[in-house]
Amino acid sequence: MSSRSRVFSSSVGTKLLIGLTGLALFVYLIIHVTGNSLVMVGPDALNGFHEFMTDNPLLPAIEIGLLLVFLLHIYKTVAMYLGNQQARPVKYQAKKGAGPPSRKNLASSTMIVTGSWLVVFLILHVRAFRFPPQHYETATGAMDLYRIEMENLSNPLTVAFYVLSMLIVGSHLWHGASSALQSLGFDHPRWTPGLLALGKVASVVIAGGFIVITLWVFLVGGRP
């Protein structure tokens, strides 16, 4: 095994890879929610943005890279979780004066659960929007993403599932963003608190943005 492989298979290397892949997915979500917000402008805006993205010759390579980043993030996170469980089969009991207070909270304690939910959600989401059961086309022959979105989010049960999933996205990002920054070495008493706060605000904006889009499509979109 090369020295580079040993580094990335170590505990520190695993946290580094989780942080890097997590931040990459974080940036993707910012782009994704920004693009999807165009649905509130109208079909021409959303479908125009979709055509612009799909016409990019680099899109297949970007999608493959994004998939690899996603799979690596899952693999390393699960590996670290299982490794921690094996190394600590019995939970430690808190002791008075045993150091600074733990940063654990509900979001950090449920990362595996929320991550697992999001894997299932992503599979269903990609199936519904990337590979719809029927072929929808605009006048130019491109995929009519606006119509697909309107029809998929016309069912109240689907909308409820999406809203719940976006709340889980927010919870996952709430801890994940700050954890990624710490794993990458952003730990300074002067500017780290500001970065962590910015990550939490961005998490709320991303999750809230997707929820607003979902509810807008259900309540307003497609109506005369």
* Residue, of 196 and 208, whose pLDDT is higher: 208
Please report the pLDDT score of residue 87 as a whole number.
Answer: 66
pLDDT the model gives residue 95: 46
CA distance 84 to 88: 6
Beta bridge partners of 137: 143
Mean pLDDT of 139-161: 89
- State both tokens at 58: 């680099």
Q: How far is CA 63 from the centre of its chain?
A: 15
The domains of the chain, with CATH numbers, are 7-81+108-219 (1.20.1300.10)
Torsion sign across C-alpha atoms 209, 215, 221, 224? negative
Statement: residue 177 has pLDDT above 70? yes
The yes-or-no verdict on residue 108 having pLDDT over 80 is no
Bigger pLDDT: 211 or 52?
211
Q: Calculate the alpha carbon distances from 61 to 29, 58, 112, 115, 119 in Å.
A: 18, 5, 28, 25, 21
- Asked if 69 and 26 touch (Cβ cutoff 8 Å), the reply is no
Q: What is the pLDDT of residue 4?
A: 53
Q: Which residue has the higher pLDDT, 101 or 129?
A: 129
pLDDT digits (tens, 9 = 90+) for 5-21: 554 566 767 788 888 88
Which DSSP string corresponds to 180-192? HHHHTT---TTTH
Q: Could you tell me which of 12, 20, 31, 11 has the C-alpha nearest to residue 177? A: 20
Please determine, for residue 183, whether its predicted confidence score (pLDDT) is greater than 60.
Answer: yes
Mean of pLDDT over the chain: 81
The pLDDT score that the predictor gives to residue 215 is 96
Report pTM.
0.81
Q: What's the CA gap between 5 and 3, in Å, rounded?
A: 5
Q: Give CA–CA dist 62/66, Å, rounded.
A: 6
